[in-house]
Structure 1
Amino acid sequence: MNVAPPVDPWLLEKLVCPLTRTPLRWDAERQALVSDAAGLAFPVRDGVPVLLAREAVPL
């Protein structure tokens, strides 16, 4: 399942995890931005990444 992220690719290259400051990757299966370093998935709502720790889901 290779679905394009709802986030602009240019923006996706610049986004980092708010906890670890490591790059995020798009996970099409979860429909979320994933921080492998933190073990968290951040939701994307209406094309807007929600990079709040309290909104993240553990992997």
Structure 2
Amino acid sequence: MPNLSPELLSVLRCPVTGSALVQEGEELVATEADGNGTMPRYRIEDGIPLLLPPELLSAATAAPASQHDADQHDAASRTAG
């Protein structure tokens, strides 16, 4: 996988610690530890960093695609009206 651009990395921050992120292979790693003393890690899929804490990422990936489509349609309806 190619590296993310330095410009993108310069603006991305860890949503848990607020620290900068560095790329290690196909993951981004926070430069500061969280409250448990671990360095949060985030996957990169198809060149897109998935910056959700692990507990939210598992919930987001568990939702069926039809639920995501319905949510997007509802949001578009609210903003169009």
Q: Same fold (TM over 0.5)?
A: yes
Higher strand share: 1
Q: Which runs of 5+ in 1 are unaligned?
A: none
Q: Deviations over 1:8-59 (max 9, x none)?
A: 221111111001110001112xx2000132312100011110000024xxxx
Instruction: Specify which structure has the bigger relative contact order, considering alpha-carbon pairs within 8 angstroms and separated by 6 or more residues.
Output: 1
2:52 counterpart residue number: 52
Task: Give the TM-score normalised by the residue count of structure 1.
Answer: 0.70
* Distance in 1, Cα, partners of 2:2 & 2:45: 15
Moved over 6 A (4+): none
- Between structure 1 and structure 2, the one with the greater Rg is 2
Report SS of the residue matched to 1:13. Answer: helix
